[in-house]
Structure 1
Amino acid sequence: MTLPRIAVDAMGGDEGVQTMISGAALARRRHDKFKFLLVGDEPRIKAALDAHPQMRGASEILHCDDVVSGDEKPTAALRRAKTTSMGLAVNAVKQGHAGAAVSAGNTGALMAMSKLSLRTIKGIDRPALAALMPSLGENDVIMLDLGANTECDARNLVQFAIMGAAYSRIVTGREAPRVRLLNIGTEETKGTEQLQEATQRLRAATGLALSFDGFIEADKINRGFCDVVVTDGFSGNIALKAIEGAARFVTDLLRNAFTSSLRSKIGFLVSRPATELLKHHLDPNNHNGAVFLGLNGVVVKSHGSANATGVANAVTVAARLLEEDLTHRISADLAELGETRLRSSARANAAGKVDREAEAEADTSEGQGA
């Protein structure tokens, strides 16, 4: 299968053009069918390509020397969407010149540009930012929203559950991924009105390709108990930063412990294979590539501090979602949810009609008895 090109914002990210091009080159070495549209300053991109000659035949350069800064407000970045590397990469997807866009730039600006340019899938009110996180289970866990929407109602949460499950089916191969809502407890009575209503809607829905398992607490996110964790962007971003901070804390704690004495250093040499495995599992570069779900196109956000391996993983995520046609999967699940609502409405109307007929018959009987 020939993939559509992947537009890479070569100017985004903390590490610069060299890292973005090196990451794209690494992805191509893993999968030689990748083609690229490299968006950014042409002289700098050509200089970076000197170290990766195999990329030249697989890439086209779209020159642009205007860059969205990391601290730029999304509203300001939107006004320059037609002149920045980020904006042109997203627009390439809209125009059909690329199948997906990858950027390591300003998250807020990327979301704003993507939403305005690509629009949301019919039936989706708001796109959500979803990412893979390590777990003790057989597969990584998908969590959304991670910051795109600070406030969400029950309808948004249900849509996030459907989008997250569609993404999880691609990643895990499960036909019905286990979905849970993030809450302060697992009891049915816990949580906000939005969570309670979303729970009722998900339990009532039939035919969806997911298994709704109720609530999950934050300390269980990485335990492997579910495949998709759904929450609003405010809570999700806090949970994500807390998990990342805990991972860094454990890593630094082990480093300090193993260098505290000669005996500790010897212990480190003995346990090095295990610590290297832990380091690999906790390295964010190995789970890099957050996805803006719910758009009419694939947009992947790379960590700003990602190295070449991290960028390569983000590019691979974009390609896989293109191959598996994520947008179509989400649309099909939304259609099924709509059918479920129609069936539920029809049953409710039928039940109401029966009740009204029974009431009318009772009234008639009482009138005849009088």
Structure 2
Amino acid sequence: MARLPFLERTAADARGDLTSSKQQNGRKTAAPAPDLSGAFSSDGPLSAQRLVISVDAMGGDRGPAAVLDGVALAARGNPTLHFIIHGREAELVPLIAARKLTDRVSLRHADDVVTMHDKPSAVMRTGKATSMWSTIEAVREKEALVAVSCGNTGALMALSMLRLRKMPGVDRPAIASFWPSKNPSGYNVMLDMGADVRADARDLLTYAVMGAAYARNALGLKTPRVGLLNVGTEEHKGNAELKAAHELITQAAQNGDFAFVGFVEGNDLPGTRVDVIVTDGFTGNVALKTGEGTAKFAGELMREAFTSGILAKLGAILAMGALKRLKAKIDPRRANGGVFLGLNGTVVKSHGGADATGVAAAIELAARLAGLGFIDRLAARLALASASGQDAASVEAGDETQK
């Protein structure tokens, strides 16, 4: 796994890095595609410290065995990782021992499990004994740097907001995910993917700032290009909220150290025009599920086509290398992990049906963000954006201190 440059700064000097980074070509500095499913090098920034990851072992559709298979895969790839595993001790002890993880794992017993059918409000009231609550609590108490769970998305977001609280300046946190694209990095970032179905103009501005910070760190881009998802690229299209957001993001782009390309359409999601796609959670989640369904459908059609006859099978054999590369490119497991942005702590949501490869990808993404100190850098960016917004507001309203 390629080493990512330390592109962000902490709050003390976040403002000072803007001028120099604007003079560089962000497109030429893109890191390799974040194939987070394989072992990454121990000579990168992660090797400088012991990274503790808090993992909910009970939340996935495939059960704790699949989660611990993913933990084992990630552990083999990075010797600096240590894990706090949360769940039912009687089930987890033999699984941990069988995978020779005893020396890398601390076990936290939790009797209860958050199911996919549990309502977030109920989990918030009565979920203290669950593995998910325990997983988030480890980050809140500074015992772990990042939390990873395959469990109920709504409950995980609700508990994360309850225990970690929102960052200053954030009204609605967002879920950011990778979207395969033709860009040099191999992926675009899209948010919100379903944390909240609503988003007003100010929320979309916050998403733009957070998405740019995430792309800057996770994809290694100096100056990410941000686009606002709409039904067309013309400025007169869209509802009043989108038009207001367009104006706000345009004004914030300079201080936010990103390039705003304006409105983008659905066909830009996998394209090269943009690095970060901003939208509300309702639209983002529909787009995500549509993309997953379309990819699955296309794969099934291709499988049928290449097994329809002897000549088709021969063609498949001749094209085997190219087909494997295509499969790896669009394999959702390799970019598994939606990051909750806007909280006082990093939480990575793995797909509920993730196998060992997918879980390992989510863990390795969590480790990468922790190793880069992403949460502090994001807070610095949000503070800078908030300060810039207050300055703009004071100019528009008149400086009260001068009256």
Instruction: Establish whether TM, by shorter chain, passes 0.5.
Output: yes
Q: Does 1:171 align with 2:218?
A: yes
- CA deviation profile, 1:189-232 (whole Å, cap 9, x unmatched): 11111111111011112321211110111122011321110100
Contact 1:3 1:323 in 2 (8 A): no
1:338 aligns to what?
A: 386
Tell me, in whole angstroms, the C-alpha distance in 2 between the residues paired with 1:338 and 1:129: 20
Q: Give me the TM-score of the superposition, normalised by structure 2.
A: 0.84
Q: Does 1:95 align with 2:141?
A: yes
- In structure 2, stretches of 5+ residues that fail to align are 1-47
Tell me, in whole angstroms, the C-alpha distance in 2 between the residues paired with 1:64 and 1:85: 5
1:32 aligns to what?
A: 79
2:172 aligns to what?
A: 126
Count residues with an aligned counterpart. 351
Q: Secondary structure at the match of 2:126?
A: coil
Among 84, 95, 114, which residue is 1:68 paired with?
114
Tell me, in whole angstroms, the C-alpha distance in 2 between the residues paired with 1:342 and 1:74: 34
Among 165, 184, 202, which residue is 2:231 paired with?
184
1:323 aligns to what?
A: 371
Among 9, 13, 16, which residue is 2:56 paired with?
9
- CA deviation profile, 1:245-271 (whole Å, cap 9, x unmatched): 111111111000011111111111111
For 1:60, the aligned partner's letter is S
Q: Relative to structure 1, is the Cα distance of residues 263 and 95 closer, same or farther in structure 2, using a 3 angstrom cutoff? A: same
Q: Give me the TM-score of the superposition, normalised by structure 1.
A: 0.92
Tell me, in whole angstroms, the C-alpha distance in 2 between the residues paired with 1:300 and 1:7: 10
Contact 1:81 1:88 in 2 (8 A): no
Runs of 4+ in 1 over 6 A off after TM superposition: none
Among 249, 271, 275, which residue is 1:227 paired with?
275
Larger Rg: 1
Q: Does 1:86 align with 2:121?
A: no
Q: Secondary structure at the match of 2:319?
A: helix
Among 127, 150, 153, which residue is 2:200 paired with?
153
2:37 aligns to what?
A: none
Tell me, in whole angstroms, the C-alpha distance in 2 between the residues paired with 1:72 and 1:348: 47
Q: Secondary structure at the match of 1:207?
A: helix
Tell me, in whole angstroms, the C-alpha distance in 2 between the residues paired with 1:232 and 1:344: 25
The CA RMSD measured in Å over matched residues stands at 1.6
Tell me, in whole angstroms, the C-alpha distance in 2 between the residues paired with 1:130 and 1:99: 18
1:357 aligns to what?
A: none
Contact 1:80 1:87 in 2 (8 A): no
For 1:41, the aligned partner's letter is R
Contact 2:112 2:131 in 1 (8 A): yes
- CA deviation profile, 1:114-135 (whole Å, cap 9, x unmatched): 0111001111111101111111
What displacement does 1:171 show? 1.6
For 2:81, the aligned partner's letter is F
> Which sits farther off after the overlay, 334-343 or 181-190?
334-343
Among 258, 261, 266, which residue is 2:314 paired with?
266
- CA deviation profile, 1:263-296 (whole Å, cap 9, x unmatched): 1111111111111111111211111011111100
2:65 aligns to what?
A: 18
What displacement does 1:349 show? 5.4
> Which sits farther off after the overlay, 90-99 or 232-241?
90-99
Identity %: 43
What displacement does 1:347 show? 4.2
Tell me, in whole angstroms, the C-alpha distance in 2 between the residues paired with 1:141 and 1:237: 15
> Which sits farther off after the overlay, 253-262 or 201-210?
201-210
1:209 aligns to what?
A: 257
Tell me, in whole angstroms, the C-alpha distance in 1 between the residues paired with 2:206 and 2:342: 9
